[in-house]
Amino acid sequence: MASSLTTKLQSLTQDIISYPVFHTRPSTLKTSLFTLSLPFIYFTYLDYRAWYNVGRGGLPHNFLGYIIQGILSPLKASRFDTSFMSQPKVLAKSGPPGERAYLKDEDVPQRKGDRPDVCKWILPQRQLDQKPGPESRTKYEKLIHSLAVDHPTKLSVKTSILERGGPALYINPEVEKHPGAFGTRNEIAHLHESDGGSMHVSISPKDAKLVIEKGWGERFGLSGTILPVTYTMVYAPRDEEEMKVVERIVRAGVKFMLGEEA
């Protein structure tokens, strides 16, 4: 029996060794492998160019950044999943303010129309259509500067660390913070200059659930892993009425991050 098995293994080995690829000249083999890889190289190049054209945001704006986002892709959160946001564990991670809702149902009406298209890559997270004019950015900057002026000992405006560019609203370093505020390095909100007006805002889990379910935003790709589950993308406002809703969301983020009462 052992002899029969040995004979079969020897025969199989001989068949494998005699396969043509093992007798191909090294240069010919390299050429064949290169030719086979051309479609992959081509489509990777196209995907990289599309990613690059989205604009800057957090990662190096080069091929290294593209590779990093590819490595992080398995961590990508489900965009609209809010089923877990009421779980005790999630609320506890957000500190005492995580139990609170700073937005009422009437503060965030159902958003009209379809959601905007958002790019497929985990980073950067950008809105691809339904983009407003430059006045949206102006209004956002006025909003965060007015909040900083109203709370000079608690808030300030500076360049976003998370985005590596663009204006952001921060909690001042000397302000005592609850656990839920540490995950974004004191950043409350920032605007995305490259898409004209979408933003990321840290809001309470209950508010994040409301905002996403009413169609005003979606989860950040790395929320719940590298960044807090409360880190939420809010779509760019298309008119004055939508700007009022976005302003309420940002103000709710300020209250949550400062640990204020609802």
What digits encode the pLDDT tens for the residues 94-116?
Answer: 888 989 999 999 999 999 999 99
pLDDT, residue 19, reads 46
pTM value? 0.84
Q: For residue range 45-85, what is the model confidence (pLDDT) as tens digits?
A: 999 999 999 988 889 999 999 999 999 999 999 999 999 88
Continuous segment of H or E residues that includes residue 189:
strand 187-191
Alpha-carbon span 35 to 33, nearest angstrom: 5
For the chain, the 3-state helix, strand and coil shares in percent, each to the nearest 5, are 50, 10, 40
Higher-confidence residue: 62 or 9?
62
Alpha-carbon span 102 to 261, nearest angstrom: 8
Q: Cβ(205)–Cβ(85) under 8 Å?
A: yes
pLDDT, residue 86, reads 85
Q: Cβ(146)–Cβ(222) under 8 Å?
A: no
pLDDT over threshold 70, residue 196: yes
* CA distances in angstroms from 199 to 121, 226, 233, 261, listed in the order given: 16, 18, 6, 24
Of the ranges 2-11, 32-41, 50-59, 241-250, the best mean pLDDT one? 241-250
Higher-confidence residue: 96 or 247?
247
pLDDT over threshold 70, residue 5: no
The SS3 of residue 118 is strand
